[in-house]
Chains A and B, each alone.
Chain A
Amino acid sequence: SQTIHQWPATLVQPVGSPLSLECTVEGTSNPNLYWYRQAAGRGLQLLFYSVGIGQISSEVPQNLSASRPQDRQFILSSKKLLLSDSGFYLCAWSVPSKNIQYFGAGTRLSVL
C-alpha cells in the first residue's frame, strides 16, 4: 500500500533562518506531488505541485521554493523565513490519472 511521510511534525524557527521540509511517498511510482499551506481556521492554499522529477509549478508567488530531486521526494525550502511563513504545511500525492489526493500528517511551522 502507499504511504506518505512528512517531517518534521513541528518546527520553530527564527525569522531570517532557512527552511527545509521533506516529503516522501512509498508504494507508487511517478506520483503527482503537492505542497499546501493551511492557515489557522482557513482552507488549503496550494503552493507548488509537481508532475515529475525537476518539474515544479508554483501557484502563489512567495518566499518559498520547491524541488523534486527524486521521483518520490518533494522538498519545500526557504532561504530566509518571514513571520508570515508560519502555518501548517501539508504534502499530498495523487496518481497522475486520478484527482484524489492523499495527505501527509503535516508540519506545523512557527516563525518567531
Chain B
Amino acid sequence: QKEVEQDPGPLSVPEGAIVSLNCTYSNSAFQYFMWYRQYSRKGPELLMYTYSSGNKEDGRFTAQVDKSSKYISLFIRDSQPSDSATYLCATSNAGNMLTFGGGTRLMVKP
C-alpha cells in the first residue's frame, strides 16, 4: 500500500463547476499537507500549505485536512479552463522529506 493514495483521473468538469480533489494517507505522523499544481511539461508549483487538521482558503481554493480519517481535500470553486492541470498532494512529518500522491489530472471544459 502506498503511503499517499490519489485517484489518477482524469477528472473532467464543465467550466464553473466546483471541483473536489482528494488524497488518503496511511502514516499518522504526517502533520504537514501540501497541494501542488503541475501544468503539462512543467514543474510542480505550490498551491496550498496546511498544518494539522482544519481548513485553509485562498481565493477560489480551499484545502481541508481531516487527520482522524487521514483524508486531504482540495476544493476549487468556479473552476476555469486555466485550472486544467495535474494536482499533486504531498505530506510530511517534522522532517524535510515529502511523500507525494501520484497526482490527479483535471480537465475543465469551456
Q: Which residues of A contact B (CB under 8 A)?
A: 6, 32, 41-44, 46, 49, 51, 88, 90, 92, 94, 96, 98-106, 108
Contacts and interface: CB of A to CB of B under 8 A. Distances in A.
B95 A43 contact: no
Contacts of B8: 41
Contacts of B102: 41-43
Contacts of B94: 99
Contacts of A108: 41
A43 B43 contact: no
B100 A43 contact: yes
Interface stretch (B12-20, B44-52, B54-62, B76-84): B44-52
16 contacts: A41-B103, A43-B88, A43-B102, A43-B103, A44-B100, A49-B96, A90-B43, A92-B43, A96-B96, A100-B34, A100-B49, A101-B98, A102-B46, A103-B36, A105-B43, A106-B42
B15 to A, nearest CB: 25
Contacts of B36: 103
